[in-house]
Chains A and B, each alone.
Chain A
Amino acid sequence: MASNKVYWKSFDQLANTEVSQRLAENEFAQDIPADVFLADERSLEAQTSRRDFLKFLGFSTAAATLAACEQPIIESVPYVVQPDSLTPGVPSFYATAYTDGQDYASVLVKTREGRPIKVEPGDAGRFNRGTNARAQASVLSLYDSARLRGPILNGKDSDWASVEASLKKAADAALAQGSQFVLVTSSVFSPSLQAAIERLRQGYANFQHVEFDAVSQSNTLDVWEALTGVRALPSIDLNTAQLVVSFGSDFLSGSTAQQLSSDYAARRKPGTGMLRHVELESNLSLTGSNADKRVKIKPSEVSGALAFLVNELGGSAAKIALRDDLTKALKSVAGELKSANGKAVVLVGGDDTNVSKLAAALNALVGAFGTTLRADKPVYLRRGSEARVANLIADLNAKRVGALVVAGTNPVYFRPDFEKAIKSAKFSLSVTDRMDETAVLCSAAAPLPHYLEAWADFRPVAGEYTVAQPTIKNLFNSKSLLEVLGGLSGDPRSAKDQVAAVAGSLGLNWNQTVHDGGAAVTSGSAAGAPAGAAAALAASAKVSKPVNGMELALYENAVGAGYQANNPWLHELPDPVTRLTWDNYLTIAAADALAMGFENETNSDGSLDGSYATLKVGKRVLENVPVFIQPGQTAGTVGLAYGYGRTSAGKVADELGVNAYALGAATGYATVEISKAEGTHEFATVQLGHTMMGRRIVNEVSLADFIADPKGTNWNEKPTFHTIDGHKTSEEANLWANHDHETMHMWNMSIDLNSCTGCGACVVACHIENNVPVVGKQEIRNLRDMHWLRIDRYYSSDMSKERAEEERIGGIEMYAKMEEPSESPSVVFQPVMCQHCNHAPCETVCPVGATVHSREGLNHMAYNRCIGTRYCANNCPYKVRRFNWFNYMANEQFADVNPSQDDYGRMVLNPDVTVRSRGVMEKCTMCIQRVQYAKLEAKKAGQPLADGGFTVACAEACDTGAITFGDVNNAKSAVRAAKADARAYHLLEEVGTQPSVFYLTKVRNA
Chain B
Amino acid sequence: MAHTTEPTPVVRALYHDDDVLISAVKEIRAAGYKISEVYTPFPVHGLDKAMGLKETRIAMAAFMYGLLGLTVAVTLTWYMMISDWPQNIGGKPNINWGMNMPAFVPILFELTVFFAAHLMVWTYLVINGLYPGADAQNPDPRTTDDYFMVELPAADGLVDVLKKSGAVEIAEA
Interface of A toward B, CB cutoff 8 Å: 736-739, 837-844, 846, 849, 852-855, 994
Contacts and interface: CB of A to CB of B under 8 A. Distances in A.
Contact of B91 (A839, A846, A849, A855): A839
B166 interface: no
B91 A738 contact: yes
Contact of B90 (A737, A840, A854, A855): A840
A852 B89 contact: yes
A841 B92 CA distance: 10
A737 B89 contact: no
B8 interface: no
B71 interface: no
A737 B87 contact: no
A737 B88 CA distance: 12
Contacts of B99: 736-737
B92 A844 contact: yes
A837 B89 CA distance: 11
B90 A853 contact: yes
B168 interface: no
Contacts of A855: 88
Contacts of B91: 736, 738-739, 837-840, 843, 853, 994
A386 to B, nearest CB: 62
A964 to B, nearest CB: 24
B93 interface: yes
A854 B87 CA distance: 8
B105 interface: no
Interface string B75-91: 00000000000011111
A852 B88 contact: yes
**A-B residue pairs, 10 tightest by C-beta:** A844-B90, A853-B88, A843-B90, A839-B91, A736-B93, A852-B87, A737-B93, A739-B88, A843-B89, A840-B90
A745 to B, nearest CB: 14
Nearest to B89: A843
B90 A839 contact: yes
**Contact-residue size bin, chain B (C-beta under 8 Å from the other chain):** under 10
A741 to B, nearest CB: 9
Contacts of A837: 91
B95 interface: yes
A193 B149 CA distance: 115
A853 B89 contact: yes
Nearest to A739: B88
A994 B91 CA distance: 10
Contacts of B90: 839-844, 853
Chain B contact surface mostly = loop
Contacts of A842: 90
17 contacts: A736-B99, A737-B99, A738-B91, A738-B93, A739-B93, A838-B91, A840-B90, A842-B90, A843-B88, A843-B89, A844-B89, A844-B90, A849-B89, A853-B88, A853-B89, A853-B90, A994-B91
Nearest to B80: A849
Among B87, B90, B92, B93, max chain A CB count under 10 A is at: B90
Contacts of B93: 736-739
Nearest to A845: B90
Interface in B80-119: 87-93, 95, 99
Interface class of chain A by DSSP: loop
A567 B93 CA distance: 47
Contacts of A849: 87, 89
A860 to B, nearest CB: 10
A844 B81 CA distance: 12
Contacts of B87: 849, 852-853
A83 to B, nearest CB: 42
Contacts of B88: 739, 843, 852-855
A706 B33 CA distance: 104
Contacts of B89: 843-844, 846, 849, 852-853
A145 B92 CA distance: 50
A839 B88 CA distance: 9
A646 B87 CA distance: 53
A838 B99 CA distance: 18
A594 to B, nearest CB: 49
Contacts of A737: 93, 95, 99
B100 to A, nearest CB: 10
A941 B116 CA distance: 61
Contact of B92 (A736, A846, A854, A994): A736
Given A846-B89, A852-B89, 16 more contacts: A736-B91, A737-B93, A738-B91, A739-B93, A837-B91, A840-B90, A840-B91, A843-B89, A843-B91, A844-B89, A849-B87, A852-B88, A853-B88, A853-B90, A853-B91, A854-B88
A838 B88 CA distance: 9
Nearest to B99: A737
A843 B87 CA distance: 10
B81 to A, nearest CB: 9
A500 to B, nearest CB: 57
A26 to B, nearest CB: 55
A316 B92 CA distance: 72
Nearest to A851: B89
A853 B86 CA distance: 11
Nearest to A852: B87
A69 B95 CA distance: 43
Interface in B111-170: none
A737 B99 CA distance: 9
A852 B93 CA distance: 13
A842 B88 CA distance: 12
Interface in B46-96: 87-93, 95
Contacts of A844: 89-90, 92
A840 B91 CA distance: 7
A839 B92 CA distance: 8
A842 B93 CA distance: 16
A996 to B, nearest CB: 12
The winner among B88, B89, B99 for most chain A CB atoms within 10 A is: B88
A732 to B, nearest CB: 15
A908 to B, nearest CB: 34
A854 B90 CA distance: 10
B116 to A, nearest CB: 25
A955 to B, nearest CB: 25
B107 to A, nearest CB: 12
Nearest to B85: A849
A284 B9 CA distance: 106
In this complex, which of A842, A843, A855, A994 has the most chain B Cβ atoms within 10 angstroms of its Cβ? A843
Contacts of A838: 91
Nearest to A838: B91
Nearest to A994: B91
A738 B87 CA distance: 13
A844 B90 CA distance: 5
A844 B87 CA distance: 11
Nearest to B87: A852
A298 B99 CA distance: 66
A233 B143 CA distance: 109
A741 B99 CA distance: 19
A859 to B, nearest CB: 9
Contacts of A994: 91
A24 B93 CA distance: 63
A852 B90 CA distance: 7
Nearest to B94: A739
A221 to B, nearest CB: 60
Contacts of A840: 90-91
The interface centre, meaning the residue of B89, B93, B95, B99 with most chain A CB atoms within 10 A of its CB, is B89
A635 to B, nearest CB: 51
A331 to B, nearest CB: 57
A836 to B, nearest CB: 12
A855 B91 CA distance: 11
Nearest to A846: B89
Nearest to B91: A839
A849 B92 CA distance: 13
Contacts of A852: 87-89
